[in-house]
Amino acid sequence: MIRTAGPALTGRDPFTAKRIRIKLLTRSALVIRMTILMLALLTLLGFLTFNYQGVNFFKGVAATLSNFKVIFIQPAFAHVTFQGAIGELLITLSLGILTTLLGAVIALFLSLFAAKNLSNRMTSNIVKELVAIIRAVPTVLWVLIFAVSAGLGSVAAVIGMSFHSISYLTKAYSESFEEMDRGTIEALEGCGASWWQIVWQAVIPSSLTSMISWTFIRFEVNFGVAVAMGAAAGAGGIGYDMFMDSSYYYNLHEMGAIAYFILIVAMILEYGSVKIKDKIRA
């Protein structure tokens, strides 16, 4: 038997016998480093060019803590009653629910054409590029754009928020659909299943938990945006009351009460989403 010279016979360490070349500075890494460097320089330039005349840092911190104490420790209603706050909160919730439902229904059909394993490459790329352009514009800006054409009010808020929700959920749903194995789809096609049968009986049931998670995440985002749009777009709701307390009445006590209302609703939404997902998984 002929023995070949191995690492033990040659005296070389098997872990150092071959050198692995690692390319540390790739193009993407260079872009990331340059971006971080530019942001750091702009931040430093901003701090150096601020006008600090007449600003007392310690007094500012003390005043901020005092305002936080009034808002979060001494909440009370003044211009809005408890029942009135609940009614305004329901308006904001309704705005979030409506925009999420509209976005989810339209995004469901668009995502079927955006998923690469359910559509051809050209159609998928067109849909994904279109929703990427829409998603690049912030929700608040879309609302303001539609407010110019449709006027301030709930209509502009619903259209703008739904517009951005469609692009957001289309991307989320299509990525959930693409996680399904292509071999499963080909097997179903080989058994004679139509495209719609594959979608409704295989693709959507397997992605349902992920879709619900993304939908609830978007609903939480829409609820927060609806609070802001209550003042910015004249959509009303609890956001308008908070805006009036912060800018017109300057009632920090009522701001605290409204903030607690919003916090409680956000916690209920999170708890509800977890329970629904647990039931679906079971």
Cα–Cα distance list, 41 to 38, 46, 282 (Å): 5, 8, 52
Residue pair 121/185 in contact by the 8 Å Cβ criterion? no
pLDDT confidence tier of residue 81, bands split at 50, 70 and 90: confident
Q: Mean pLDDT: which of 33-47, 143-157, 200-214, 235-249 is highest?
A: 33-47
Count structural domains, the chain: 1
Specify if 86 maps to a domain: yes
Residue pair 84/237 in contact by the 8 Å Cβ criterion? no
Give mean pLDDT, residues 73-80: 86
Percent of the chain topping pLDDT 90: 17
* pLDDT of residue 169 exceeding 90: yes
Rounded CA separation 101/23 (Å): 47
Task: Give the model's pLDDT for residue 212.
Answer: 87
Specify if 22 maps to a domain: no
Residue pair 254/79 in contact by the 8 Å Cβ criterion? yes
3-state SS assignment for residue 133 = helix
Where is pLDDT greater, at 53 or 38?
38
pLDDT confidence tier of residue 100, bands split at 50, 70 and 90: very high
Task: Give the model's pLDDT for residue 41.
Answer: 94
Specify if 213 maps to a domain: yes
Task: Give the model's pLDDT for residue 107.
Answer: 94
Cite the DSSP H helix spans in the chain: 7-10, 27-49, 57-73, 82-114, 121-136, 139-150, 154-178, 182-190, 195-198, 204-232, 238-243, 252-281
Specify if 72 maps to a domain: no
Range of the domain at 165: 82-281
Specify if 37 maps to a domain: no
Q: What is the pTM of this model?
A: 0.74
pLDDT confidence tier of residue 271, bands split at 50, 70 and 90: confident
Specify if 249 maps to a domain: yes
263: domain CATH number is 1.10.3720.10
Specify if 1 maps to a domain: no
Specify if 169 maps to a domain: yes
Nearest-5° Cα angle at 278, 265 to 211: 80
